[in-house]
Each structure stands twice: as structure tokens, then as C-alpha cells.
Structure 1
Amino acid sequence: MSEKRPDARTTRAADLMHLNAMALEETEQSLHDSADGRADPEAAERLNRLADSMTETARDIAARARDLSDPGSPRP
């Protein structure tokens, strides 16, 4: 049985999803950096929680992109 390869549109979508995941990771780091500079510990904690949730979202997007680009690979 031959494995189905993704078409150009699917590959493009996966590439864009990877770029979005990377952008979220960069934003996440910026939020952590901003939290480090806060005098208010509650504000810093909120920023860190927001950054952590962005990391989770980025990981989910990246996993979905991998599924699109390589449908036969198992998801972690």
C-alpha cells in the first residue's frame, strides 16, 4: 500500500502553521522577559501564565502541522 503524500496546499498550510508556532514561541519569550522586569509580583505571575499558555498553544499547532506534513507519523 502506498502512503499518501501531502499536496502543495497541505504542505503550505503546514509550513504556515510551523511559522505561527515559532512566532508564538518568540512572543512567549518576550512575555517572560517582560514578567522578569515587573515590580508587581502578581502582574509578573499573570504574564508568566500567559506565556506558558502560549507555549502550549505553539506546541499544539506544531504537532498539528507535523500531522499534516507527515500523516503517518505518530503523535507524541
Structure 2
Amino acid sequence: MSELRAERLQVMLSPEELTAIDDFRFKHRMPTRAAAVRELLKLGLAGPPVDAAVGVKSSEFGVFNRGPEGHTHSEPDVPAKD
């Protein structure tokens, strides 16, 4: 892979997601958050394939609210009406 980094990617993270990245970064003694994110992307891309349904909102792909089935699509939780 080329070391040229000409593209910038902006990602919005929850406080919990940012803490998880920082924890990974410090545990593995990485110099920057960007380096940690690149390593996590590499690990994720080498993992099992993601089966996402068409029309899934990006908010459904959070790190901490995926549920036990990972990134498989399911109907959103609808609160019960009293």
C-alpha cells in the first residue's frame, strides 16, 4: 500500500468510541490517533466480511451499539408505548 496520504477522512465519534481508540493507541504505544485508526482499519478489513442491508443508516454502525450479531442488519429497537 502506498504511503502517500493525499485524502482526508472526517469521522464523527462518540466519547466512548474516541476513548476506545485512545485506549488501543496507548496500549499499543502508537504515536497518534491517526496511526491507531489506520491500524484498526487494517485489522477490521482483514476480518470477516460485513453483511449490511441496503438502506442501513450510518448511525446503526456504532462501535458500542452493534449488539451480539455484529454488523448484521436488524430492525431498530422501538420503545414500547405505555
TM-score between both structures, scaled by the size of structure 1:
0.27
Tell me which of the two structures has the higher relative contact order, counting C-alpha pairs closer than 8 angstroms and 6 or more residues apart.
Answer: 1
Q: Which structure shows the higher helix fraction? A: 1
Q: How does the TM-score come out when normalised to structure 2?
A: 0.26
